[in-house]
Structure 1
Amino acid sequence: MSTKPDIPFKSAVMPQALTAESRLRFRCHKGISCFNACCKAADVTLTPYDILRLKRRLGLSSTELLRRHTVPFQMDADGLPGVKLKTDESGVCLQLAGDAGCAIYADRPTVCRYYPVALLALREQDAPTAEERYSVVQEAHCKGHEGPRELSVTAYRAEQGCEDFDSLNREWYQLILKKKSAGPAVGRPPEASLRLFFMASYDLDTFRRFVLSENFRNTYSLPKALYREVAQDDEALLRFSYRFLRQVLFGERTIEEVAGAWDRRVTQRQEVWEARRQRELERRMAAEDAKDSDGGDGRAS
């Protein structure tokens, strides 16, 4: 499935950008000769909301879903982490249920919904936000373009249930595009920031524990109602993760810190470092004492 939306979106040759009103000719159905062909050469980049829907569908935690059903990759030269849907060694999607088609069809990822349309995020120079455009790719194996049915991109998106996914992913797309557009001005994020990006984007259950932890509450000033909401509502937690990522990636003050939190963190870290140093000294002293009691050659004197 080569019409995956590259994140950040890129192409050696810029495809023709279509608008929501543009029309396309396409219909995929079980009776078509190429049915499931795209699933047998799957290259599906997953978005945060894709992960949320899949973990619910498969009854797994986000951590377990990532371990069992995805493979990691780097989205840019700075090592920004992404995940793809796992396939077998020949490229067949593991969610393909033989001739019956997709086993998770109602919760299929964004890329699969859009196919053969690709969602593009295009931002003019100095524009504050990106505009959504679309392109259509015709692959040699796909016969869906040969039928008579014609409809607008808007109608096709509605038919495929794309808007629910886009509404939960749109802010994340903007984050990725901003990271790409900023280039050297932002620089390579520290390793800790990359790990936080992975957790907040994909491992939502671990991110929830992180947000509800005592350390997080002691660091950030958030309304109690928000804590209750993110504790129970995955979508609310996902939206909050985007606020958190703006702060992690770009230093935006999207979440107010508790007064004096930074100074307390520095003090706590110094205490941890001192405790570790003291334990290491004690370990070395115990090793020296043991060596002396053995007469220096491992034998008791």
Structure 2
Amino acid sequence: MSQAKFDIPFQSAVSPEVLDADTRIHFRCYKGISCFNACCKQADVTLAPYDVIRLKRRLGMSSTDFLAKYTVPFQMDQDGTPGIKLRTDDTGTCLQLNGDEGCGVYEDRPTVCRYYPVALLALREKGSAEAREQFSLVKEPHCKGHLEAREIRIGDYRTEQGVEEYDELNREWYQLILKKKSAGPTVGRPPETSLQLFFMASYDMDRFRRFVLSDNFRSTYQLTDDFYLELERSDEELLRFSYRFLRQVLFGEHSVQEAADAWEKRVAERKEVWDARREFELKRRAAAEDEKYRHQPDAESTPDQNPGDRPCCD
């Protein structure tokens, strides 16, 4: 068992030891244990992208409707990077709790719920380009699962709880978050449009799909018709593509090939817009100037003077 330490908040339920897949823990949760559903009644569940896909499918909703009804937003860092948590009722109980029966979406429960009481850590050593996945243990007073006799390796517990599929589809997203955090001021606060794109491409897959399949997107990026068809059919493939797109948006990586003349087209389109705005503003100012002089009292004019000769007094 690894005994590396990391900083945690004072009185945190998270153990300061960094553990690995071979670490053995004592834990078992089952219907009938005295604390059954206690964690669901004190829910603080942050969602990752694949969690949203599984839950919106389970509930038969679009991602947009799921986000509006069952999640609340929060800022993951000082730059305003958007995150989401599962919504609870006024007592802090998860809205997916099905009374005494337990989780109402158990087969599609989020990553955090599957891992509990293990916490997944994405750690990157200084000078390394890749993050290592390690773990820590969460011990909360209400949880009696730690008192159970069963001993199990963390690696086996992950397999038992079905987190490997979730990790495979969320891994690149965790790396994006870590890269942004480690880059610090060299990246700076992303513009608001980038944050909006991050939210859409991370969580709102149905809206992101409409964005990717739009004529404007197709004319901008070089992707095959077969690839677009795959994005239309598969949430998982669309999610993988969203990570490529976010690397380009957030870090300027050329992860999605643009059409040869896409940049020139955007420049030309923007020039047309700015030229139109400039012409409109000039006309607006001229009209305002004419209106101002039209309402000047006659006493201010002399017979040998006309409004066009007057000096501007703005």
CA apart distance, 1:167: 0.5
What amino acid maps onto 2:223 in structure 1?
L
1:270 aligns with 2:271: yes
CA apart distance, 1:283: 7.9
What amino acid maps onto 1:12 in structure 2?
P
SS in 2 for 1:11: coil
SS in 1 for 2:155: helix
Q: How do residues 277-292 of structure 1 correspond to structure 2 at under 5 angstroms? A: none
Contact 2:7 2:16 in 1 (8 A): no
Q: Deviations over 1:179-215 (max 9, x none)?
A: 1111111111111111110110001111111111111
Q: How do residues 58-207 of structure 1 correspond to structure 2 at under 5 angstroms? A: 58-207=59-208
Of the structure 1 ranges 283-292 and 136-145, higher mean CA displacement relative to structure 2 is found in 283-292
* C-alpha separation in 1, matches of 2:262 and 2:41: 51
What amino acid maps onto 1:11 in structure 2?
I
What amino acid maps onto 2:9 in structure 1?
A
CA apart distance, 1:173: 0.5
Change (3 A) 1:260 1:85: same
* TM-score normalised by the chain length of structure 1: 0.89
CA apart distance, 1:108: 0.4
Q: Which residue of 2 aligns with 1:228?
A: 229
Contact 2:87 2:94 in 1 (8 A): yes
Q: Which residue of 2 aligns with 1:44?
A: 45
Q: Deviations over 1:67-99 (max 9, x none)?
A: 111000000010000000000122110111110
SS in 1 for 2:18: coil
CA apart distance, 1:271: 2.0
Change (3 A) 1:73 1:60: same
Change (3 A) 1:59 1:277: farther
1:23 aligns with 2:24: yes
CA apart distance, 1:285: 8.7
Q: Deviations over 1:118-160 (max 9, x none)?
A: 0001111001201100111111111001111010001111111
* C-alpha separation in 1, matches of 2:241 and 2:177: 16
CA apart distance, 1:278: 5.5
Q: Which residue of 2 aligns with 1:4?
A: none
Q: Deviations over 1:6-65 (max 9, x none)?
A: xxx973367211100101100011101110000111010000000000110111111111
Of the structure 1 ranges 265-274 and 91-100, higher mean CA displacement relative to structure 2 is found in 265-274
How many pairs align? 287
Contact 2:40 2:97 in 1 (8 A): yes
RMSD, aligned α-carbons: 2.3
Of the structure 1 ranges 265-274 and 50-59, higher mean CA displacement relative to structure 2 is found in 265-274
What amino acid maps onto 2:145 in structure 1?
G
* C-alpha separation in 1, matches of 2:98 and 2:38: 13
Change (3 A) 1:289 1:33: farther
Of the structure 1 ranges 256-265 and 243-252, higher mean CA displacement relative to structure 2 is found in 256-265
Change (3 A) 1:22 1:282: same
Q: Which residue of 2 aligns with 1:213?
A: 214
1:57 aligns with 2:58: yes
Q: Which residue of 1 aligns with 2:308?
A: none
Q: Deviations over 1:227-259 (max 9, x none)?
A: 111011110000000000111111111011111
**Structure 1: 5+ residue stretches without partners:** 1-8, 297-301
